[in-house]
Amino acid sequence: MLPKSKSGTTFISGTHISQWEDKMKRFTRKNMDKCKSQPLEFPRTAQVTKEFPTGTVYEGEYDQFDMNGYGEFTFASGVKYVGSFENGLFHGRGELIFPHDNEVAVIRGRFHKGVMTERTLHFDDILDYRERDWKYCTMPDRRFAIEYIEKLKPGGNSYLTAEQPTKEIPEGFYDTGNGFFDPVQKVVFKYHDLSAIKRAPSIREQEWIMKNCRRGTIEPLGARSDLYERWTYPILKAGASPAPAAAGTRQAPINISRKPSIFEYDGPDDDESRPLFYDFSAFASRFPDASSEKLSRRPVRY
């Protein structure tokens, strides 16, 4: 029911939109520009070199904010990362290079915002490192990497170390692989300068070095018995013990005997006396119908 005024006039309540205002709204909606978000492309500079207060150095692509693109990042320790960067972090494919004397070890992998997600370790030689079940230089195959290439040498000329030529160790020192360890001063010296200290190993490492590493000494080393397999004779076990004898009675001694094996024969060395594998007399007694010609054939002797 429509409302009425006091004078009796009927009217419609609401907002009245003029024809001009309606046309303006339609025109605005038709020609409205939508906001479209697009990534901003910052121009990357050419190859640059930046040195940081921490002693690290970066060489590579650099935008207006941080390291982005391909580059090389060298730590103060000498370890180098070569690969892709994003916003100052290792991101994408890259490799970490660890120098050691005249050799290097390389870890190649994939990074995601500074975190390594895939990795493989490579050495200068042919070794293919595995994080699990790595069989290099372990029993029973104790070959060095060089012996995989040049094969094993005859006795007396075999390789003593993986690195060739084998270093001559001063008397009383130990070869740790990266220097000579002195058990008296408990430090590792450089190979070519015994007055220059390279590092000080922990107590646990000192014990491992003196147990496993080569030592310079004039004493003959001899064979390592722990590297050989041990063969023993079979152990004979007695049967169940008899029940204890009654008081006042004497128990007969127990004799444990076994039939000697053919491998323990110590008689005359001739065909007639040597034991046989098969006892044909026992065979003939079990099978009386067998012909004498078959039984007369000489069996194979041990």
Which run of H or of E encompasses 149?
A: helix 145-150
Same domain, 56 and 111: yes
Domain boundary among 122, 155, 183: 122
pLDDT digits (tens, 9 = 90+) for 81-93: 999 999 889 999 9
Range of the domain at 88: 48-122
Residue at 152 is within a domain: yes
Please indicate, yes or no, whether residues 159 and 174 belong to a single structural domain of this protein: no
Residues 74 and 102 reside in one and the same domain: yes
Same domain, 53 and 118: yes
Judge residue 100's burial from the number of C-beta atoms within 10 Å of its C-beta, 0-12 exposed, 13-18 middle, 19 or more buried.
Answer: exposed
* Residue of 301 and 289 predicted with greater confidence: 289
Structural domain contains residue 234: no
Is residue 173 located within the same domain as residue 159? Answer: no
pLDDT for 203 equals 93
* Residue 9 forms part of a structural domain: no
Q: Does one domain contain both 157 and 173?
A: no
Q: 169 or 32: whose pLDDT is higher?
A: 169
pLDDT, residue 180, reads: 94
Residues 276-295 have a mean pLDDT of: 51
Query: What pLDDT is recorded for position 132?
Result: 77
The DSSP code for 243 is: P
Q: What pLDDT, on the 0 to 100 scale, is given for residue 278?
A: 45
Residue 30, domain member (yes or no): no
Last residue of a domain, one of 87, 122, 157: 122
What are the tens digits of pLDDT across the range 47-83?
888 898 999 999 998 887 788 889 999 999 899 999 9
Last residue of a domain, one of 218, 237, 252: 218
Indicate whether 249 belongs to any domain. Answer: no
**Rounded to whole angstroms, how far apart are CA atoms 134 and 109?**
19
| Shared-domain flag, residues 151 and 173 | no
Sequence letter at residue 280: F
**Neighbour-count burial of 298, counting CB atoms closer than 10 A to its CB (0-12 exposed, 13-18 middle, 19+ buried):** exposed
pLDDT for the residue numbered 58? 93
Nearest-angstrom CA–CA distance, 295 and 206: 72
Total number of domains constituting the chain: 4
Domain membership flag for residue 194: yes
Q: How much is the pTM?
A: 0.40
